[in-house]
Structure 1
Amino acid sequence: MAKKKSDGEESWGKLIRDILVILLLVLGIHSCVAKPFYIPSDSMMPTLRNGDRLIVSKYPYGWSYASVSFHLAPKIDGRLFGRLPERGDIVVLEHPDTRIDYIKRVIGLPGDTIALRNGALFINGKPVKRTVQPALTIPADPNLPGPDSSLFRFVTRDASGREVLELPIVRETLPGGATFDTIDMGRGYATDDYGPVKVPADHLFLMGDNRDGSADSRVSAERKGLGGPVPFDAIAGRAEIISFSTNGTTEWYNPLSWLRGLRSGRAGTDLRPARDSSASRE
Structure 2
Amino acid sequence: MSVTTDKKQGADGGFVEIIKIVVQALLIAVAIRTVLFQPFNIPSSSMEKTLLVGDYLFVSKYAYGYSRHSLPFSPPLGHGRIFGSVPKRGDVVVFKLPTDNSTDYIKRVIGLPGDRIQMMDGVLFINEKAVPKQRIEDYVEGSGGQTRRIPRYRETLDNGVSYEVLDLVENGFLDNTPVYTVPDGHLFMMGDNRDNSTDSRVQSAVGYVPMENLVGRAEVLFFSVDKAPAWAVWQWPWSVRWGRIGMSLR
Alignment of 1:41-190 (within 5 A): 41-69=44-72, 71-74=73-76, 76-98=78-100, 99-140=102-143, 161-190=144-173
Alignment partner for residue 195 of structure 2, among 190, 212, 222?
212
- 1:30 equivalent in alignment to 2:59: no
Give the Cα separation in 2 of the matches to 1:215 and 1:209.
11
The residue type paired with residue 132 of structure 1 is R
Provide structure 1 residue ranges, at least 5 long, that are not aligned to the other structure. 141-160, 273-282
Displacement after TM superposition at 1:16 (Å): 2.8
Q: Which residue of 2 aligns with 1:243?
A: 222
Conservation of the 8 A alpha-carbon contact between 1:239 and 1:271: yes
CA–CA distance in 2 between the matches of 1:167 and 1:30? 37
1:106 positional shift: 0.3
Opposite residue 185 of structure 1, the aligned amino acid is: L
Deviation by residue 1:98-135 (Cα, 9 ceiling, x = unmatched): 21110000000111111111221111111111111121
The Cα offsets for residues 40-72 of structure 1, whole Å up to 9 and x where unpaired, read as 010001111111111111111111112223x24
Deviation at residue 203 of structure 1 after TM alignment = 0.6
Aligned equivalents of 2:233, 2:128: Cα separation in 1: 54
- SS state at 2:219 partner: strand
TM-score by length of structure 1 reads 0.79
The answer to which of 254-263 and 178-187 deviates more is 254-263
Matching of residues 246-265 of structure 1 within 5 Å: 246-250=225-229, 252=231, 255-265=233-243
Mapped contact 1:250–1:260 kept (Cα < 8 A): no
What is aligned with 1:230?
209
| In 1: Cα distance, 2:230 partner to 2:187 partner | 39
Task: Tell me the SS of whatever aligns to 2:106.
Answer: strand
- The alpha-carbon distance between structure 1 residues 73 and 205, as it changes in their structure 2 partners (threshold 3 A), is same
Runs of 4 or more, structure 1, over 6 Å off, are: none
Match of 1:201? Answer: 184
Q: Distance in 1 between matches of 2:220 and 2:149?
A: 25
Size of the alignment, in residue pairs?
A: 242
Specify the alignment match of 2:20 in structure 1: 17
User: Cα distance 1:75–1:41, how it changes in 2: closer, same or farther (>3 A)?
Assistant: farther
The answer on whether the counterparts of 1:250 and 1:261 sit within 8 Å (CA) in structure 2 is no
TM-score when scaled to structure 2? Answer: 0.89
1:121-173: CA deviations, max 9, x gaps? 11111111111112122444xxxxxxxxxxxxxxxxxxxx4433422111111
Q: What one-letter code is carried by the residue in structure 1 that aligns with 2:238?
A: R
Distance 1:162 1:264, change over 3 A: farther
| Distance across 2 between alignment mates of 1:139 and 1:190 | 24
Q: Is the 8 A contact 1:29 1:35 kept in 2?
A: yes
Displacement of 1:187: 3.3
Alignment correspondent of 1:267: 245
Is the 1:108–1:206 Cα contact (8 Å) retained in structure 2? Answer: yes
